[in-house]
Copies of this chain bind each other. A is one copy, B any other.
Amino acid sequence: MSTIAMARNGDLRRAILDESRRLLLEEGYASVSMRKVAAAVGCTATSIYLHFENKDALIHALIEEGMDLLHEVLLEASCCETPVPERYKGMCRAFLDFGLANREYYEIMFQMTPMEMRRYPTEKYRKARRNLELFAEVLLEARGTSTDFDPALGSIVLWSQLHGALSLIHAQRVDKRYDTEVFIDSTIAHAMCLLQPASTSSPTHS
């Protein structure tokens, strides 16, 4: 009823986004269908198309919101007052916690492949890149830049490692003998070695 009022008040686009997010987080991705969103918002399925080109565009908008949320979390963890190793560790943990606490959000942000969705448009990667840059900064501070270390590349390697862990946890493919926290701790421990130059373990560029 109140949502219907919102719709009539003109900002239907906003209402659609809000209800989509609620459906996504509360009832899972399977419940985000044009008809269900429309019903929740109090309009017709097809009128969503007046505000979003298609379902993918709607999902893309949600992804962007998720990227903003993640950015806030990472910004807070990357406070420059704490020394590098702790700060780095804190950022890794913040990323992992975000993924664990916002499963559905995380999945549409990083897990959704071209298999089930048109590719996330390239021009929208800005916000995703911003998050990586926070990791690159702390890597740069720890190791500097030289011919045998590229912070940007390092941040991608780090990201992919953290992402892999979340991906397997979400898909519930991690052996139940290991508690999630044990796995997470080991993941962070492994990630720590990107901080130190090692004879065989530094990502080098060309």
A residues apposed to B, CB below 8 Å: 28-30, 104, 107, 110-116, 119-120, 125, 128-129, 152-154, 156-157, 159-165, 167-168, 170-175, 177-178, 182-183, 185-187, 189-190, 192-194, 196, 198, 200-206
- Contact partners of A104 in chain B: CB under 8 A: 115
> Which of A164, A170, A172, A205 gathers the greatest number of chain B CB atoms within 10 Å?
A164
Q: Distance (Å) between the CB of A189 and the closest chain B CB?
A: 5
Q: A204 touches which one: B30, B107, B171, B189 (CB < 8 A)?
A: B189
Q: Given A115-B107, A161-B161, A153 and B178 touching (CB < 8 A)?
A: yes
Q: Given A153-B183, A160-B164, A165-B164, A107 and B113 touching (CB < 8 A)?
A: yes
Q: Distance (Å) between the CB of A153 and the closest chain B CB?
A: 6
Asked if residues A156 and B178 are in contact (CB atoms below 8 Å), the reply is yes
Q: Given A113-B170, A160-B167, A171-B110, A206 and B193 touching (CB < 8 A)?
A: no
Q: What residue of chain B has the Cβ atom nearest to residue A111's Cβ?
A: B113
Asked if residues A182 and B153 are in contact (CB atoms below 8 Å), the reply is yes
Write 20 A-B pairs (CB below 8 A) sorted by A numbering: A28-B115, A29-B116, A30-B116, A112-B171, A153-B186, A156-B168, A156-B186, A157-B186, A157-B187, A161-B164, A163-B167, A164-B165, A164-B167, A167-B167, A182-B206, A185-B203, A189-B202, A190-B203, A193-B198, A193-B200
